[in-house]
Chains A and B, each alone.
Chain A
Amino acid sequence: MASPPQAPPLHRIAAPRISAEDVVVFCDFFYKKTGISMDASRRYFIDKRLEDRMAANDCNSFREYLSLVKFQPGGAEMQALINEMTVNETYFFREDYQFACLTRRMLDEIADRKDPRRDRIRIWSIPCSTGEEPYSIAISILEDWPRASDFDIEIIASDIDTRALARAREGIYQARALHRVSPRIRDTYFRKLDGENWQVVPSLRESIDFGVINVSSPTQMARMRGIDVIFCRNLLIYFDDLSRRQTAEHFFDALNPGGFVALGHSESMSRISNIFVPRKFPEALVHQRPLP
């Protein structure tokens, strides 16, 4: 005979208190683990998410929770914490002038240095969040780059947030994420699931290689080599100067000579590092690893 259902514990009633000192300790710890600089003044944002994670783990104090995150074998709670603390709001064809720059300028330059019988073109979207960016890149290439069928093109998409990656692989979006998608493109690359939701067609979903990369992990970043274009938009704004510089250096190593980095419109590589050469195309300013 089955046991009667039990009421869930009332965690929310007595949420553990988090002090200002705890927040400072947490921000320092989170920065060391992820490179992301949390602003300790955003107390509501941080407290709310920490309290949720502490309650989910039945931790009665911040100290207890921090011990769990630091020493748990496998790091599942660290990943859950990262998932809570990262922001994943985006939409298709956001800052699409950079995709126009990709298909009108960057890809031709890259293709001219490659042999289509032997060489692939490799594009990396980081952070890819819930997938809108890598899918937008793929659609832009298929629609707007006349030489797309001449080359093998690989799109790699990574994020630190495993929950966002799961959603990206699933490829289901509400209509508001598609507000910049024309009806023709929508009907070509999406299937309507119901009144509110659309799903990316299987062939496009299967063409993107999604996976976890923590930018602040040199080991994980070292796996990325031979990339031709990196889209890293609106990530570095969360980093401090040193982490930005380290990330720029990782990107340099990941790129082939002549490869490009596209940053968000409010980010400036010249303030981070002089290791790249600025390339001002009519559509966008991007940053190039110098050719030998």
Chain B
Amino acid sequence: MNTLLLASPNRNAFRRWASLFGCVALIATVWLTVLPRIARMPAVADHIQQMEQERIEVDAMFYTELEWDPPSGAAWRWR
């Protein structure tokens, strides 16, 4: 019983660290192996190249993050 009580937290800790390493390994595999391969697929590569050539910040959360000069209200011509 004592052995079980002592062993249980260790086993738990081992399981937790193993889960962390498992997750890290999975993320590393996706980011370092799978995504670079996807990036080389013709359709994806074309899309990436086009976005980079046009300097489009696809991950922009707000308009100020874009490399774009917004039109000013005064320039708008009301008929």
The answer on A and B forming one complex is no
